[in-house]
Structure 1
């Protein structure tokens, strides 16, 4: 499989700028791998495809307000700072992206807030766009983190060409988000409402939670034709024994295990035993899943519609089968499904 196998023409108007009015009423395309059948439903209809004892595995990572706007010392130039990863809590060191990158050098200071109450100094140029910042703040660590929350905004994707609004803080977050650390939402989970979760639980569907803190590396463009040469950025994952027990019991009982999203799938496939059961894990993964690939844990998955040449699309191809996936995407475009983070969903059975 080459990069060019994953190109297709996506009309710009199909990139969703806003979420559906109700979480569980986005559209749902159901793709049956065995028969090649494609159905068109609403997301809340997903309950029809699962029975008592089946398991849905969700990613409970929580998006933090990672986008800050500051001003450069002396010139006052407006600089966007995107917080990627905390390197050292005690020293308040962070890996960040800055934009425009060309204006920022080691030693520059950046000021945040109307009162310049937060200051950061650039101490390292790690990559062409990346920097390491040391935040200078006199208060406690808890006060510092609260300051980041107060000054930051929800990091909705750049393709959404509008101002962040009050709804985004809630809607760009799953209803089960609890472990803070992601800079992008695990978007397949955005379709679950409290009402739908309750209906699924009443029907006897179990939920298992894993954590994968989504980084921007998930969305980095693939720039090599030979996919085996592409390197994924590492992302932090945590899978506890409780989740393993729920998943492995379902597998042993021949029940369905459904990965809610590509991030959940990556987390589970990063920690499997030789007999294809899920292991507990606390660490980092840079696993890149592309065809051909033999999946060990989940036998179905929910995912959004992804952009051409993305690593997410490559994982879907590996799971769905490339020809069937391309057929489904062609139909999605014809039927005007909404793509990407705030878009519609696909259930692959």
Structure 2
């Protein structure tokens, strides 16, 4: 699952935690060298596929972060996560498919779709000018993908206190949450996610920017608005926009409105290196959420369906 356009989405984000484990030892433990013997070129194969795709379409960078369960296609018997309204902005499935196909030729049945997604998100951040962070591998793919699970995704209408509480339930600090929200420096939001801010006077929204958003929404609910002026570049411009009361989503602007998080926003707006460092740490932390190891999961042959 994802949180808006978090790369991981970002930006992608699993908010129900069914496991939290990490360790460099043991057959099934996550490890930085997990594929060293079984598929030594795994990371390079994923990186090559991601870079080729982004050279052809830089806008894909914001769409490459998601949990492996969102890759599964819907069937007649089940509506999967990818068809939830919360996930309709996701793209780039074919990038994961291409990497998986090449990996299956090199080392069949070894590299999970969940690991491919995690590596692809990391590579997309770096390609877009963001920081490099390494993540342990060894995740297995889950066998569940249901649309009802997406109701747990953070809503764009949440305020800072609600976001702090939701993230805090899963071990994230307020600073982690703000740093992860900075992934919105990539990509766009659909009008349906922010049009409620335009129906009445929103004191947290700059009046001139409100006109910009209204013009975007004149094209309909699916019209897209960049989160900041450099939608394909990973930088700290998102936080500068919040200082100008030009956050697209209410859940964006609330980070500056709230005294609990305003200082963090100001720090990141002034110091991109600090934002990059905290984002690195938070993304590694996120990569350990909902980890399935050993017999708790599988390695899918095709990322779009359960074996």
* TM-score strictly above 0.5: no
More strand by share: 1
- Highest Rg: 1 or 2? 1
TM-score by length of 2: 0.28
More helix by share: 2
TM-score by length of 1: 0.26
